[in-house]
Amino acid sequence: MPRVIECVPNFSEGRNKEVIEAIASGIAGTDGCTLLDVDPGASTNRTVYTFVGSPESVVEGALNAARVAYHAIDMRKHTGEHPRIGALDVCPFIPVQNVSMEDCIDCAKEFSEKLALELGVPVYLYGEAADNEDRKHLPQIRAGEFEGLPEKLCKPEWKPDYGLAEFVPNWGATVVGARTFLVAFNINLLATKEQAHRIALNIREQGRGKDQHHIHRRMRLRPGRMKNVQAIGWYLDEANLAQVSVNITDYKSTPIHMVYEEILKDAQELNLAVVGSQIVGLVPLEAIIQVADYYMEKDNLFILEEDQKLRLVINRLGLNSLGPFSPKERIIEYMISEDKEGPLISMDIRDFILTVGSRSPTPGGGSVAALSAALGAALGAMAGFLSYGNKKFYELDAKMRKLLPPLYKTMKDLMSFVDADAAAFSEYMLASKLPQDTEEDKALREEAMQDGLMTAVHVPLTVSRITNSMWPTLKELATVANINCKSDLQVGVRTLETAVWGTFYNVMTNLKDLKDDEIKAKVKKEIDAAVHLAQASCAEILSILDGRNE
Active-site residue flag, 421: yes
Instruction: Break the chain into its structural domains and give their ranges.
Output: 4-178, 183-323, 349-546
Residue 261, C-beta contacts closer than 8 angstroms, at least 6 positions apart: none
Mean pLDDT, the chain, as a whole number?
A: 92
* CATH architecture classification, 183-323: 2-Layer Sandwich (3.30)
The 10s digit of each residue's pLDDT in 187-243 is 999 999 999 999 999 999 888 765 444 444 444 444 578 999 999 999 999 899 999
Q: At residue 415, does pLDDT exceed 70?
A: yes
Could you count the other beta carbons within 10 Å of the beta carbon of residue 506?
A: 28
Residue 413, burial from CB neighbour count under 10 angstroms (0-12, 13-18, 19+): middle
Q: At residue 278, does pLDDT exceed 80?
A: yes
Q: At residue 120, does pLDDT exceed 90?
A: yes
The 10s digit of each residue's pLDDT in 37-70 is 999 999 999 999 999 999 999 999 999 999 999 9
Of the listed 39, 89, 106, 421, which one is catalytic? 421
pLDDT of residue 213: 42
Q: At what angle do helices 517-546 and 439-468 cross, to 10 degrees?
A: 20
Active-site residue flag, 351: no
CATH 1.20.120.680 at 349-546, yes or no: yes
DSSP letter assigned to residue 305: -
pLDDT band at 275 (very low <50, low <70, confident <90, very high): very high
Residues forming a β-bridge with 243: 188, 234
Q: Write down the CATH number for the domain with range 4-178.
A: 3.30.990.10
The pLDDT of 161-179, averaged and rounded, is 96
Q: The pTM is what? A: 0.73
Which of 92-101, 131-140, 380-389 bottoms out in mean pLDDT, i.e. has the lowest? 131-140
Of the listed 82, 137, 197, 257, which one is catalytic? 82
The 10s digit of each residue's pLDDT in 487-546 is 999 999 999 999 999 999 999 999 999 999 999 999 999 999 999 999 999 999 999 999
CA angle 341/343/348 to nearest 5° reads: 95
Residue bearing the bigger pLDDT, 10 or 361 = 10
Q: At residue 448, does pLDDT exceed 80?
A: yes
pLDDT of residue 339: 53
